[in-house]
Structure 1
Amino acid sequence: MTELKHKHLMTLTLSVDFAGMMVIGQTPAGLRRIAPVTGGSFSGERLNGKVLPGADWVINRPDGVMEIDVRLPLQTDDGAMIYLTYQGRFLAEPDVMARFAKGAVLKPEEYSLAVTAKFEAGAEQYLWLNDVVAVGTGEQTADGPVYSFFEIG
């Protein structure tokens, strides 16, 4: 069996306006909410800059899983714009999800936050991002999640 080749791509730190979350309501897919991402930063060996305003389109499914669908514009330190989108899920036991829903900051071992990411870049120095397959893991903080993204292959 071959080992999965991967390398750290970047750490993404988000600021989320939890108080400004828009509640769409109960839909056939689950409870739909939109969480405004107000900013943040990203840093890695080849990728550094700031996060511009975006959002997380969240669904809390009837089975207790929280699906995330994040779309963000990134601005690199050299002024290039990159579009980042990632989807994934936040898994925890029902009692932990209940605490999370009330705003509790959880211990990393109480949940699993995993995502797959896609980048779109037009600036020549970042065209390589268009072909990157990336996965990430996240940790919850009081201000928003912090993700470690890894380039696969």
Structure 2
Amino acid sequence: MNETLSPAPPALDYLGRLEVHVAAPVEVGHTHAGQRRVIPITGGTFAGPRGRGQILAAGADFQLLRTPSEAFLDARYVVAMEDGARLFVTNAAYRTGAVEDIQALVRGEVVPPERIYFRCAPHFEVADTDEGAWGWLSTSIVIGSGQREPDRVIIDLWVVR
């Protein structure tokens, strides 16, 4: 007789917190895919058990508001770690909530984070010269949970084991 086993869920290790500072959105307008906007990234920080870093003013979040209650986010930026390494981050995210809450976020208002579903899956590219300390990030699955504030995005990250 074949017994089906329930697989164990993967474990998570806390990687750290990103605080991404953002400027006012640049509204592109309604496209065939939805409402397009670009949010410039002006700086920020990363802090976690393995190290700290600064987010450089060298990126943006390319948002697509597909419906009044959901958005697809595509953020790209650079984290300069204290040890000299530079991490290029491509962060794909999905954010949804009640229409009135999403519209409040779009207007730059504060919405309690528990009312918004905001999850992401960042991918990290690490320079060849920094492979020793951070190369493992290039071959790891990382997931995150975020919250939007008027002038920043806060994202807690976990590595999937």
Normalising by the smaller structure, the TM-score range is over 0.9
Q: Which entry has the higher C-alpha Rg, 1 or 2?
A: 2
The Cα of 1:88 is off from its aligned counterpart by 1.1
Distance across 1 between alignment mates of 2:126 and 2:51:
12
Residue correspondences, number: 151
Aligned to 1:110: 115
Q: Does 1:133 align with 2:138?
A: no
Once the two structures are superposed, residues 70-105 of structure 1 have per-residue CA deviations (whole angstroms, 9 ceiling, x without a partner) of 001110001111101110111111121222222210
Tell which deviates more after alignment, 56-65 or 9-18: 56-65
Task: Give runs of aligned pairs for residues 94-109 of structure 1, distance below 5 A.
Answer: 94-109=99-114
Question: Can you give the 5+ residue segments of structure 2 that lack an aligned partner in the other structure?
Answer: 1-5
Question: Can you give the 5+ residue segments of structure 1 that lack an aligned partner in the other structure?
Answer: none
Percent identity, aligned pairs only?
Answer: 26
- SS in structure 2 opposite 1:98? helix
Give the AA of the match of 1:151.
V
User: Over aligned residues, Cα RMSD in angstroms?
Assistant: 1.2
The Cα of 1:63 is off from its aligned counterpart by 5.4
Which of 51, 58, 63 is matched with 2:55 structurally? 51
Aligned to 1:82: 87
Distance across 2 between alignment mates of 1:128 and 1:4:
17
| TM-score, with structure 2 as normaliser | 0.89
Q: Is the 8 A contact 1:9 1:47 kept in 2?
A: no
Which of 17, 22, 27 is matched with 1:23 structurally? 27
- SS in structure 2 opposite 1:86? strand
